[in-house]
Amino acid sequence: MKRKTTLRSQFDLFEPATITGSYCDLAITMHCAFSYALGRQTYVTDVVPGIILRNISVLADGDLQVMIDRIDEKEKCEYGLGSPSIDAPVWRRFRDNLKAELAARQQKKPQ
C-alpha cells in the first residue's frame, strides 16, 4: 500500500507558482517586500528583486520610478544599501533593470 504524504519535498518549493490577486494587491505586496528588504543585510536582498523583475508587468511606471527613487535615497543614507560588497551591487543592478524597463516602456508609448 502506497503511503500518501502531506509533506512537500524541499525541491517542490522551486517549481513555478502563481500568486493570485488583483494587480493592486500584487503591486502593494511587492512594494512591501521591497521596502522591507532595501538596505538590509539579508538573504531577501536577492530574492525580492528577482520576484519583482519576474512580475514587473504588474507594476505601473510610477511604481518603478518610486523604487528607483527609494534606492537613490537609500544609497545616500549613512547605512546605505547594506553590505557594500554583497547587497549594494544587487540593488544597483536592480535599479538599472528598473530604469531599462521604464525606458523601454516610454519608447513604446505613442508620441
- Contact yes or no for 68/98 (Cβ under 8 A): yes
Question: pLDDT of 14-45, one tens digit each?
Answer: 667 777 888 899 999 999 999 999 998 888 89
Task: Determine, yes or no, domain membership for 70.
Answer: yes
pLDDT digits (tens, 9 = 90+) for 62-73: 999 999 999 999
Q: Is residue 33 part of a domain?
A: yes
Phi, psi of 22 (to 5 degrees): -75, 160
* pLDDT at residue 11 in the model: 53
DSSP at 49: H
Residue 40, domain extent: 21-108
Q: Is residue 40 part of a domain?
A: yes
Residue 21, pLDDT score = 83
Q: Looking at residue 93, what is its pLDDT?
A: 96
Has residue 1 got a pLDDT over 70? no
- Residue 49 confidence (pLDDT): 95
Work out the average pLDDT over 86-91. 94
Q: What is the pTM of this model?
A: 0.82
In total, how many domains does the chain have?
1
